Chain A
Amino acid sequence: MFTRQFELIARARVILLGIICCVLLPVVGNAQVIFSDGFEDVNDKSAARFLDQASYGGRLQDIALVRQLGYAGWLDQQFTAAVSLQKPYLDWVTGGVYQQQRQEAWFIHSAQLADPSNPLLTHDDQLRQRVAFALSEIMVTSDKNAALLFQPYALADYYDTLARGAFGNFRTLLGQVTLHPAMGKFLSMLGNRKSDVALNIRPDENYAREILQLFSIGLDQLNLDGTPVIVNNARVPSYGQNQVRGFAQVFTGWNFSSCSVATFSDCEPGNPYETPWFSPMLPFEAFHDNTSNKQLLVYPGVALPGGVLTAGGNATQEINAALDNVFNHPNVGPFLAQQLIQRLVTSNPSPSYVQRVATVFNNNGLGVRGDLKAVIRTLLLDPEARTVPPASVNTYGKLREPLLKMVKLWRIAPGRSVNGRVFRYSHIRDQFGQVPLSAPSVFNFFKPDFAQPGEIRTAGLVSPEFQIATDTQLVTAPNELGWRIFLFYIGSRYSVVWENGAPVPEETLMDYSALKTLSANPAALVDHLNLVMLSGQMTPFMRTILINRLNGPLPDAIPGQPAGAPPDQALFRVQQALYLIVNSPEFNIQK
C-alpha cells in the first residue's frame, strides 16, 4: 500500500505541476481530494461500488483497472477516452433506421458489446456514456413527441451532443442543446417567430419555460447547498411570467439550416437522414424579435442592467446574451449538482455534498465556471460518494433504473449476437418503462422530487426512480429480465433465438461460460456475482438463500435445452442466481 499511496501522491503532484501549475489556494482543495484516494484502500468491492456510480457496472477487468489506477487515475483515463457516437452507427446500418437502431447503438456503447459497424471500437468511454445518459434525463428530448417519432438521426445526434459535451463547459452544452434541431422540434423553438399582431401570433413560450424550469435553474431560488431560499416561511420563485415572455422573445427566428426566409414556415427536411436534422439551427433575422426589450433573469451581480436585454441585437447576439444570463444564475450550480448526484450516486445527498459540488461548478479552481469535468470528478471523489459505509447507511443510494439492469446483465454475462445487431424485436419500452430519449414528456421518466408513498415519503426523502416502479412494471421488468436470462443464452434452442438449425443472427445472447465454470461451487458463483452486481454488499441472509437455492433439486428440463437433454446443472445455477439477484431488493438499491 505504501507504494500505491506514493504513486497517487506523485500523480497528484504531476497534475498540480502539469495542469494547474500557476494557481494558488484553490489547488490545495483539489489536491486533497486526489490525495484522499490514497487513504481509502481501493479493494475489489470499493472499486466495484465506484464503477456502479461512474459507469454501467464493473466487470472484473474494470475492477482491476480501477485498483491499478486508483479512482482519480481511472477518471483521468476516462476523461481522455475516445467518445462513442450513435450517429455513425445509424449511418452504417443498411435498411430501415428507426428508434430501435438508435437503441442498438445505445446498448452497444453502454454494455460494450462488439460493434458490428466498426470492430475496432471497444467503447471504453463508460464514464462519458453514463454521464450522457444522466444528462439525457435532465435536458430531455423524446421521440414520444410525434414530431420526433421518426427522427432517429436527429435524436442520435442529440445524444452524441450530450456525450461530446459531458466533460466540457456547461455553457457550451447549453448552447448546443438550445440550437439542436431535435430540441428545437421537441420544445417548438424551431420556427418560433416574433409577434405578428395582424395574424394574432406571439412567440412560443415552450422552450423558454423548460430551459429555465428543467435544464438550468428550477422554479425556486436555491442556496449553494441546493436547499430552497426561504423568505417569510415561503420559497422564492426564481422567475415569473415576464421572464418566460422575455426568453420566448429571444428564442425567435431559428429554424433548420436548410430553410430560408421565404420558406420559414414550412421547410422541414423530407428525410430523417438529411443534414439539417443534425446541424445547429440557423437564425433568420426577419423572424427574430429585434424591437422588444426582453426581461431576463435578475440575480445578484447579473450582467444585464436589471436583467433587461435591450432591443436591437440580432438573433445570435441575443441568444448568447440570454444563455449567459441563465448560465450565470446562482441556481445553476446547486440545481445541476443535485440532479447529477441523484442520477449517479444517491437520491438524497446531504446539503454539504451538494454544496461541495456546486462550489466546483461555480469555480473549478482556475476561475472557470461550469467545468463539467471538474464537477464530475468532485462528485465521484467526494467523501459522501466514497466513504463505506456511508453516514446515512439505511437510506443512502438509489433505486436502479430498469433499463440499466439489462445493461448490467450484458456486462457481467457478456451479450453478443452472430451479426452484432441487437434485438430483432424491440419491446423494452413496455417492459422496462424506459428507452433512452423516449420519455413521456420533457419531465423525464421520473421527476427528481418523486417520493415513494410510505416510509420514504414519511421520512421526507425522495426516490425519483420509484416513480416508474409501478404495479405493472414490477411484473413486466422481472419477466423481461427473466425472459433474457432463461432463454436468450448462447446455446439456447428456444424457438425465438434458434431457427432452421442455427442461432438467429441478430439475437443478442448471453455468454454463461465463465459463470458456469464457477457454478461447480455455488458459493463461489454467488460470491462472484455479489462482487460484480452488488459490490460485495450482499447480506449473509441473502447469500444463504441463494446458495440454498443453487443446491436445490434440478427440474426435469431447462428452458431452451435441446429436447430430451438431461438438465444442465451449471446452466441451472447460473440462471437461478442471476434471476434471483437481479430481482432482489438488495440488488435493486444501488448503495
Chain B
Amino acid sequence: MNFDRRKFLRRSIQTALGGVALSSAFGNLKAIAAAANAGGGVFPDYKALVCVFLHGGNDSFNTIVPYDAAHYATYSATRPALAINQAAVAALSLNAQAAQGGLPGGVPSDGGSYGLHPSMPEMRGLFNTQRAAIIANVGPLLGPITQAQFQAGTHAAPPQLFSHDDQANFWQTSRADDATANGWGGRIADLLYAGNPNQQLPMTLSLSGQSLFQRGNVIDQYVMSPYGVETIDYLGAYQNELGTQSFNALNADGVQGHMFERAYASATRRSIATYEMLRTVLTAPPTWTTPFPDNSLGAQLRQVANLINVRGAGGLNMRRQIFFVSLGGFDTHDTQLVTQAGILATVSQAMQAFYQATVQMGISSEVTAFTASDFGRTLSTNGDGTDHGWGGHHFVVGGAVRGGRFYGQMPSLLQTGNPNDAGYGQIIPTTGVDPYSATLASWFGVAPGIDGIGTIFPNLGLYPSGNLGFMA
C-alpha cells in the first residue's frame, strides 16, 4: 500500500483550510456526448489561465505601497503601527509606464510613486520588465457604486460583504447576485470545452481541491495533487496483483447485469483511465530549468508547468486550459507584519518561477496568471493587524499582459474623510470583479456578445467597460 503520513496530513490540512467548495460534478461522459454533437472546430492555438487564489483576504494596501513623501505621509498616518518602512518600499520602486495612445493603463491614477512590499523583489522584476500589471482596487460589485450610494443603501451591493466564504465565492463566480452560481472558470469550460482535441481531460484542473471557480454544469474539474495525480491506492499496490485483477474484473465492461451497476463500473473505469493518461504523460521530463520554491504554492505552480509542458499532440493534446492554485494564511487580523512578509515572498517567488518556466517553454505569451482573494483588508488597523475589507489590488502576470502599468483608480489612503471608505475602513472597489474576469476571459477566447462574454458575465453591462485593457 502506498499510504504515507505526509499524504494524510496534507489531506487534513486541506480540510482545515476549509475554503474549498464541493464539486457539483456532472461527470465528463456528458461532455463527450455533447462534443460528439457539437461538431465545432478545435482551437488552433494554445492558451492557459491560472487563478492564484490568496485565501483569507490579502492586505493589498501593504503589498503595493506609496513611497513619495505626500502619499507616504498619508499612508503612515493611517497605519501608524503597520506601515512598511518608506526606504524599503522605495528600494522596490515600481517603474510604471506612461499611458499608451489612449489605451487604459499607466502610472498610478493618484500621481503617487509606488513600490512593492520588501519581500516581493521578484514581482517587482516582472512589473518593471512589463510582464506584470497591477489592477487597482478590485472587488465584487453589482455595478459601480459611490460612497454616498453605498451608505444611503440606494444602490445594490453584493450581499454578505466582508464575509470570507461569500466574498471568496463572488470572486470565483463573478456572480454577486447569485449565491448558487457556478464558477466563472467552470462556465467558460462549459462554453468552450469542444475546442480541445482531448475530450477526456476536463479543461479545468485544480491543484488545490475542488474549487468553486472551476465548478461547471457540463465540465467537471479534475482535481490533482501538486505532487501528482491521485490514483486508487489499491491498484498496483505492492504484491497486490491478484487484488488488482479482482477489482478490475468486478468493474469490467459488460459483466454487470444491472443498469446502475454498469454506470458505476463505467464511471470508475473512466476515472482510472483519466488518471492513467495523466500519469503516463506526466513522466515526460520538464523542459525548463527554473527552480520553484519549495513550498505549497511553488509545488502547485510547478505541477501546472508540468501539465502545460505536455499540452501537445503527443501528450495531453489540449488547446485551452484553466488552472486553479491557492495559498492560505492571508487573514491577518494579528501579527500581520510578520505573517504577510512570508506569504507575499512565496507568492512573488512562485509566480516569478512559473513565469520563467513558461518563457523557457516558449509559451509565456500564451499563459496568464492572475491573483484573486476573498477581499482587500481594512485600511484602518486593529493594532497589529487588519480586518475584513472589500476592494484590493491584484497582479496579472504573463507575456500577453500589457505590463508595467497600473489599471483603474488608486483609492485614497486617508484615515478620515476618505471618499472610498465604506464606513469602517473597508475600501469600496472602483473596479468590479466582473470586468476584471471578463478581460481575462476575452483574452482566453470567449467571444464577445450575448452568447459569449455576455452569457458568462451577465452583469457586465452594469459597468462602463467590459474590458479593462490590460491584456494585449
Contact = CB atoms under 8 A, between A and B. Distances in A.
Interface in A421-440: 425-427, 429-431, 433, 439-440
A556 B239 contact: yes
B232 A475 contact: yes
A588 B264 contact: yes
B246 A456 contact: no
Given A200-B153, A585-B251, A466 B27 contact: yes
B274 A479 contact: no
Interface in B1-35: 1, 3, 5, 8, 11-12, 14-15, 18, 20-30, 32-33
Q: Report whether over half of chain A's contact residues are helix, strand or loop; otherwise say mixed.
A: loop
B68 interface: no
B29 A482 contact: no
A552 B241 CA distance: 10
A299 interface: no
Interface string B231-246: 1111000111011001
A475 B271 contact: yes
A307 B221 CA distance: 45
Contacts of B23: 433, 468, 470, 472-473
A476 interface: yes
B25 A541 contact: no
A430 B26 contact: no
Given A478-B234, A549-B246, A440 B24 contact: yes
A278 interface: no
A429 B263 CA distance: 23
Contacts of A67: none
Q: Among B210, B234, B263, B267, find the residue whose CB has the most chain A CB atoms closer than 10 A.
A: B263
Contacts of A549: 242-243, 246
B264 A399 contact: yes
Contact of B257 (A200, A394, A472, A475): A394
Contact of B267 (A429, A469, A542): A469
A519 to B, nearest CB: 15
B442 interface: no
Interface centre among A430, A461, A542, A579 (most CB of B within 10 A): A430
Nearest to B238: A555
B199 to A, nearest CB: 13
A144 B247 contact: no
B259 A468 contact: no
B69 interface: no
A275 interface: no
A548 B260 contact: no
Contacts of A466: 27, 263-264, 267
Interface string A244-269: 00000000000000000000000000
Contact of B233 (A145, A394, A479, A545): A479
A542 B250 contact: yes
B235 to A, nearest CB: 9
Contacts of A469: 25, 27, 264, 267
B275 interface: yes
B29 A452 contact: yes
A347 B18 CA distance: 31
B27 A471 contact: yes
B259 A147 contact: no
Given A454-B266, A542-B250, A586-B261, A471 B222 contact: yes
A470 B11 contact: no
B26 A585 contact: no
A146 B160 contact: yes
A352 interface: no
A433 B180 CA distance: 17
Interface in A452-509: 452-456, 459, 461, 463, 466-476, 478-479, 482-483, 486-487, 494-496
Q: Which 8 A-B pairs have the closest CB atoms?
A: A146-B165, A470-B25, A555-B239, A453-B29, A453-B30, A585-B261, A425-B12, A427-B15
6 contacts: A430-B209, A468-B23, A475-B272, A476-B230, A549-B242, A555-B238
Interface of B: 1, 3, 5, 8, 11-12, 14-15, 18, 20-30, 32-33, 152-155, 159-160, 163-166, 179-180, 202, 209-210, 212, 220-223, 230-234, 238-240, 242-243, 246-247, 249-251, 255-268, 270-272, 274-275
Interface of A: 144-147, 149, 188, 199-201, 347, 393-395, 397-399, 425-427, 429-431, 433, 439-443, 445, 450, 452-456, 459, 461, 463, 466-476, 478-479, 482-483, 486-487, 494-496, 539, 541-542, 545-546, 548-549, 552-553, 555-556, 559, 576, 579-580, 583-586, 588-589, 591
Given A427-B14, A471-B267, A487-B1, 9 more contacts: A199-B153, A427-B15, A471-B202, A471-B275, A472-B25, A472-B210, A475-B230, A475-B275, A586-B261
